[in-house]
A = this chain, B = another copy of it.
Amino acid sequence: EKGLFLIAGPCLVESRQMAMEVAAELDRIRKEEEVPVIFKGSYRKANRSSASSYTGIGDREALEILAEIREGFGMPVLTDVHEASEVELAASYVDVLQIPAFLCRQTDLIVAAASTGLAVNIKKGQFLAPQDMAYAAEKAASTGNRKIMLTERGTTFGYHNLVVDYRGLPIMADSGWPVVFDVTHSVQLPGAGAGVSGGDRRFLMPLARAAVATGVDGLFFEVHPDPATAMSDASTQAPLGEFAAMVRELMQLQRCMQSIREEFHSR
């Protein structure tokens, strides 16, 4: 039986209080919906459009908060790493290391992350064909690590726009690794504001439903108690207060899809 897992949390660990508020709600949701949740939070934003964008509260402070969530709620936590030299520190706090999309071709980084033995989630570069993610996964697997996930988050489509090619989901699944659909970044309009990425929250649910119907192992959402005041991705994070209903709807669709797959042996 094939379920669905969630990777969810704020784009950035902006404060202990905010992270805890999100974690508590995600903990409630995972119990209510019986869905595994990996708590997601960046401890630093290393690839902002502009140098003047906010990058975080401090690496160790943010990582400590992630560790506190992992202990307090018994929920696995994920964060992203940007250079091989960051891997050791981050790995001592979290369960899953994530390779950002821009960095999915950086062999040293992938190998360093995979060598920790932790699970590794590699996001597909906006410039990459889905079949080429198999090579990124091989770099991680070359370390002996078998806990690898591949995440779709949209492909460059002209300027300041992304498009999700849903053919990419079964293509990436051919590699044999679990495939995650990053809903939040798939509705992003990169750099569309003046040095700030925008997007349209309206498409979150349509694109998430399309991914569940196409077939996917996990969904990735950024959630925020008050997206309008978020220090990053303000236009695309899901409002925490609406997230339970969003998950409930998607889990119901997933159950439909499970019974459809059983009956029709479709893929």
Binding site for B on A (CB under 8 A): 46-52, 55, 82-85, 102-103, 105-109, 111, 125-129, 132, 135, 138-139, 142, 155-161, 163-167, 169-170, 187, 190-191, 195, 200, 202-203, 205-207, 209-215, 245, 248-249, 252-253, 256-257, 260, 263-264, 266-267
Are the C-beta atoms of A132 and B46 separated by less than 8 Å? no
Are the C-beta atoms of A102 and B85 separated by less than 8 Å? no
> Which of B105, B207, B212, B249 contacts A167 (CB under 8 A)?
B207
A200 to chain B, nearest CB (A): 8
Are the C-beta atoms of B166 and A157 separated by less than 8 Å? no
> Once bound together, how far apart are the Cα atoms of A200 and B130, in whole Å?
15
In the assembled complex, 10 residue pairs joining A and B whose CB atoms fall closer than 8 Å, in A order, are A55-B107, A83-B83, A103-B106, A157-B163, A163-B163, A164-B165, A167-B187, A167-B206, A209-B257, A210-B213
> Once bound together, how far apart are the Cα atoms of A161 and B167, in whole Å?
12
Which residues from B are CB-within-8-Å of A252? 256, 260, 263
> Once bound together, how far apart are the Cα atoms of A92 and B254, in whole Å?
46
Are the C-beta atoms of B253 and A213 separated by less than 8 Å? yes
> Once bound together, how far apart are the Cα atoms of A253 and B258, in whole Å?
11
> Once bound together, how far apart are the Cα atoms of A252 and B266, in whole Å?
13
- What 8 A-B pairs have minimum CB-CB distances, sorted nearest first? A158-B158, A213-B213, A256-B256, A129-B159, A210-B210, A51-B139, A156-B156, A209-B213
Name A55's closest neighbour in chain B (CB-CB): B107
> Which of B156, B167, B214 contacts A155 (CB under 8 A)?
B156
Are the C-beta atoms of B164 and A161 separated by less than 8 Å? no
> Once bound together, how far apart are the Cα atoms of A195 and B129, in whole Å?
11
A22 to chain B, nearest CB (A): 22
Which residues from B are CB-within-8-Å of A203? 167, 170
User: In the complex, which of the residues A55, A167, A202, A263 has the most CB atoms of chain B within 10 Å of its own CB atom?
Assistant: A167
A232 to chain B, nearest CB (A): 13
> Which of B129, B159, B248, B260 contacts A249 (CB under 8 A)?
B260
A51-B107 contact, Cβ under 8 Å, with A102-B125, A166-B210, A170-B202: yes
Which residues from B are CB-within-8-Å of A260? 249, 252-253, 256
> Once bound together, how far apart are the Cα atoms of A266 and B55, in whole Å?
35
> Once bound together, how far apart are the Cα atoms of A252 and B106, in whole Å?
39
Name A252's closest neighbour in chain B (CB-CB): B260
Which residues from B are CB-within-8-Å of A161? 158-159
A127-B190 contact, Cβ under 8 Å, with A166-B207, A170-B202: yes
> Which of B48, B106, B158, B210 contacts A157 (CB under 8 A)?
B158
